[in-house]
Structure formats: structure tokens, C-alpha cells
Structure 1
Amino acid sequence: MTTATRTDTGTLRDLLDAPGPFVSVYFDLEVRPQRTEEAEARWRDLAGRLAREGVDQRTLDALTTRVLDALPGTGTLALFATNDGEIRHTVELPGAARGDIAEFSPVPHLLPLLEWRQDHPARVVAVVDRTGADLLLYPEGSTEPERRLVQGPDDEIVRSQPGGMSQMRYQHRAEDSWEHNATRVAEALGTALSETSARLLLLAGDVRARQYLTKHLPQWVRRDVTIGQVSGSRSEDGSAEERTAQVEAEAARAGHARTEGLLRLLEQERSPGGHAVMGVNETLEALSVGRLRILAVTDDPQDQRTAWFGPSPTDVRERREDLPEGGGPEAHEGRLADVAVRAALLTGADVRVLEPDLSPTPAQGTAGLCRYSYS
């Protein structure tokens, strides 16, 4: 059995490359005190439905073990298994609360996981003082950071009070030290942002140190990265929990802003010669030639439209007869949104999941931005 605990695109591509059919489960781990039996009963209901849909007993036993071992917990447990008893991917999604989902289908149901991931974009937090900084690096889809300590080169950070000209000299020396240390932190932040591909930087700590730091950030950071503020300092002042909550809120806000920006760009690029495609046919056509750069798709549980896909990432059509050579024996029919997501991830496109009541909603709940336009 192989188990993954990440939500990165590479891991999801490995999952999509596995032979189906797949069992996709999202199980709410929130349990009221002393009421674990209620969660166990919820799982038995889901397992019974999966059994009636054709999931074999080995797979159900493996899923049951994993679910019960996770109780009680927080957030949502996402599980993906093939119908041979092997769990291909499992990950806990803190803060996710969508209710229980269990599907048995030819392609994994990744939309709830992707929607959670886009609310947790890559980000870097810097808690600074006049000697250096504590950096927290969050890759996309992560709630546990990598921690780095940055220590500035200068240790003369306190202004002496000797009086007269000496006081001014000591003051300048201290401020030079603060600036040197801020320069070291700025360099480390540039590296951290590049490594994580983060476009969100959150600063906390000493106000003067943050001013010096902002001054020395690389030009590309000041141009391309959203810079925000959160509370707390490097000292043990009890602020870490509150700061973590603020970071989560700022990350979700940045994720929503990115979605809104994509919707605006789709509207702008709808003109002749633009890069936008709208509706099912245009979007699937772009996916079928590897032309799509970003897929925007609505996750609507009531939408039962389907599409067909074959073994190649670009074998994707609304009708089976439109696949190359009719798709052959390896053609499968799946939920339209899931089939589009599969093609997008396997051809290197990004995916943005839209809520059903989002306005403006793309035509037929499906759209995309292309790498190039047809003249």
C-alpha cells in the first residue's frame, strides 16, 4: 500500500495515472464529545452504499480501517482507492466542512480537494526583529510550515545613551546594524518566495524592522508579491496561535482574490483573438490539444453531465464517437467536471474550482484561459 499526505499537483497526477475505477471519499472527522459512535454509523452508511455500487470488500475494509483510525479528528479526511484494496492517496484537510461524500467512478473526484487547496496558496510568513527573523514557508496546500531562522550579521542593535556627539555616533551605528540585518532577511525572503513559488508574504514583528525589511526586498518581490501584515512578535508572548489564525484567513482571502481575478480575465479575453474559451465544447476542445493553461470549472453536486476520456491525457470529448478512433476499449465515461480536471492536470494546466452560486458564472459552468489564441 502506498500512502501520500500531500496535495501537490505531482501527487495528484500520479493518482490520475493509476488504473481505475476509483473510490473517492471525503469524510467529516468532527465528532462531538463522547459521540464517536455517530461518526462510525455515518461511515457504515457510506460503506454500505459503496458496496451496493460494486466496491469490493477488500477496498471497503482498507477504507474502514483508515477512517476509524482517524476518529476523532478535525476537518475532512480525503481518501482515494482503486477497487483492488489499495488506498492510493489519503490526506486530512483541516477546516474543510463539506459533509460526507463517497463516489465510485472511473476518475477520482478531486474537486473538493482542489477547492480546499486553492484556499491555501503558497505563502511565506516572516516574524522579524532587529536581529533577524523567523521564516515560515508554506507550500501550496500546506498547513504545516517549514521553519527557518535568519540571523543578521550585526549584533550592535541597542542605542547607547552616552550623551553628546557620542550618542549620535552610537545611534547611527545601531541603525546601520538594523539595516544590515534587514538586508540579510530580505535576501532570505527572496529565496524562500522563489522556492515555494509563493506570491503572498505576511510580515509580523517589530515595526521599525519591518520598515527596513520592506525597503530592501528584491524589486521583483515588491512588484509581484502581495505583502500583508499579521500580529505578534518573535518573543514568547502567546501570539503564535492568533497569528496562525490570521495567516489562514489571509491565505483564504488571497485564494478568493485569485479566483475573482481569473473571472475578470476570462471576461476580458472573450473578444476575438482573446485567450478565453467558454462552455463545454470550447473548453474540452482546448484540453484535447493541450492548449489550456487554466481550467475554471464549477463544482455543482447536482450537475450530472458526463464526458468521455481515453488513455492519453488529451483524449477527452463530450461524446465517445468524437474520441480518436471512437476511444476503443479503454474509453470511459465520467462526470464532466472530473473528466475535465483529469485532462487539465495531466496536460499541465492549473485548475480553479468555482462555487455554483458564484457570479458571474462561466457559460455552462466551464471555461478556461489558453496558452495561445487561434488567429
Structure 2
Amino acid sequence: MSKHFSPARLAGGILAVRADASGDPKKIFAELNKAFEDFKSEHSQQLKELKAGQDDVVRQASMAKIEDRLGSLQSAMDAQAAQMTALQIGGPGTDGRPTDPEYTDAFSAHFRKGEVQAALNKGASEEGGYLAPVEWDRTITDRLVEVSPMRQIATVQTISGTGFKKVFNQRGMGSGWVGEVAPRPETVTPEFGVVTYTPGEIYANPAATQQMLDDSAINLDEWIANEVESEFAYQEGLAFVAGNGVNKPYGFLTYVEGAANAAAHPFGAIRAITTASATEITGDQLLDLVYDLPGAMSQNARFVLNRTTLARIRKLKDGEGNYLWQPSFSAGQPQTLLAYPVTEMAAMPNAVAGAVPVAFGDFRRGYLIIDRTGVRVLRDPFTNKPYVHFYTTKRVGGGLLDPQALRALRMAA
């Protein structure tokens, strides 16, 4: 066993998790800095011992635990940043009060008993449904922004109709040089392309007993927001990355060269850089990915990948032995790779043959999310007695906005 490492040192505190650091950004930063220094020290020593043929099982276990600790701390940092992003949208009001208290009170009464005075049922529909009050809608939206990585980095457009169309100028304007008295024939006129973004419907159907609803201590607002947020965030996370467009958004990976929607956008497909190996990613390939993106698109560019791929890329170094990946060291700042922010997205595939485990670019210019105005809640006390179901729906769509703003790293087949 290496003299530089021992089980006692492991137990003594390198990887110790302090419970009091869970919610304090300053303490999280300190823990993250310490864990990253341990990671660099252990990994460098591991490489030396590998070269000397002295690797041991205990050191491998140490590295795995350090990486897990780094991941946990970075997740805590990312959560702090996401909460800041969600707060920018704004809550019900500066004083925390509902923007529509009269209807909110009526809606809460309807939630418990299904009884609303006629003068207050402005959300009523012909089939007896009720639209959620403004602050309910905003609460759910805020939560989605907080937990959905794509909503944090893409463009979000709210619509009031059944769909959204965007016209793209395909350029191609013709011109020519002529003499003073030479004729001026007609030149080529640029063509326009249209992309239609059609929202699908996402739903959640939580239930509670009538006795549970009768309990005045229950926070209905918090309860339904939690239920809806969990379901919607999971479904959206999958769809924005790889959705097939059938009653759901088209994921951006479907627009990569060779994928199902490669020819769907007027500007073409998302360019892909292919690795030499079917399982390994190198630093040079990440550099190729970065510099293949036009300079005008790189100012707000970022890497998108899942946790498994990030764990592998964390170990990559440049020619001088510096890590390509750097953790976040200040509030509101993300972890970086080659000096660009990194967004961890669980729906991205692993680095296996033929997959696209890494995407890079300006997602705000590259991908569009559309939200049909309003979250709708239908109260159903009849289907599953004694439970009352709250059928909650939101219409969401998405698709490629500009393929020139994104690049993809594809593993060799």
C-alpha cells in the first residue's frame, strides 16, 4: 500500500461530509475546494503508481469516493445556482401575497369541497374544470425552471394559440458587377423557410383522500406544486433531449447529422464531430468540438453531458498536467470545461458506440421551448373513491432554433 495514503487518512476527514454544509454556499465552496484538491493529489499519485506498476485497490476505492464527494458538492452548488435562476422569474408579488387572492381562495375551496360561488368561477369551463390561479401557474413554472436544466439554458417562449411558427431567412441573395450602361438582370432572391413548433400535452394526476383535503393544516399550494413539478420535470428532461415529437417536443439530439430530424430545419442539421474510439473521449476531440463552433456563437456556449460522462472527462489533463475540468468556486458560477460552463443533464446518453454523449454551443440561440399559457387542473372526486384526483395538464413543445449555434460529439460506431 502506498505510503501517501492509508485507511486512517480516509476515515480521518478527506471525504467527510459535514451536515452543516448542506445549505450554506460558503461552506459548500470550502468543501468543494478541499475535495477537488484531494482529487488532484490522489489522481496524480495514482498515475505515478500506475506508471511504476504499484497501483492498489485501496487507492482505487479512494478515488471513487473522492469523485462521488465532488459530484455531491457540485450538485449542491448547481442547486444553489438553479434557485437563483428561478428567483429571477419572480414570485406572486413582492410581498409574497397572491396576485389574485379572491379567486385563489375560491379555488382552494374548490380543491377541498368542489364548491365555488358562481361569481368567482372565472376559471370554469363547460366540463366543470378550473384553471389554476396565476400564482399556482407561476409556482409550477418556477419549480420547472429550478429543476430542468434545459429550461435554464434554452429560450422559452410563451404562446396563447395552438402552435408557434418561425420564419427563417435562408439567405442566398444574388448580386453582380456591371458597367455604367450595362443591363441589370434580376438577381436571385433569398428564400424563406418555416418551422412549426407544436406543443404536446404533459400531465400529472396526483390524488389525495377527501379526509386529507378536509384537514385545514394541509398546504394545498405546496402539495400540488411538488407533485406536478416532479412529474413534469422528469418528462420534460427526456423530451427536450431526445423526444420524437409524437405528442411531445422534438429533442435537440434528433437534429444531429444522421438523426431522424437532420433535414427538418431550413439551416440544416447540427454538425457532429466523430471520435476515433467507440468508448474513449480525448481532450483534443473536445478542443475540436469547441473550435468547430463559429466564434460568434461561442460567447454564451456551454457543454451539456450526463454525470457518467462528466466523471470520465474530469480526469482529462492538458499537456502541462492541468485538469481540463474545473469545479465552481464562486456563487452563481457553474463548473467549467476548457473554460466553458458545464450543464449536467441526466437525459444525455453515455459514451458508447454510436451515441452522442456531449453537446456544445449556445443553447439559448439553438433550442426553443414553447409553453402554452396556463396550467389546468380538473378536480375528479368520482373515479377512484375515496380519493380525489387533480388532473393537471400543461401544453409544452420544443424544437431546434438554430443548428449553427450547436455542435455534437458522436462516438465512433
Which bin holds the TM-score, normalised by the shorter protein?
Answer: 0.3 to 0.5
TM-score by length of 1: 0.38
Greater gyration radius: 2
1 or 2 for the larger relative contact order (CA 8 Å, sep ≥6)? Answer: 2
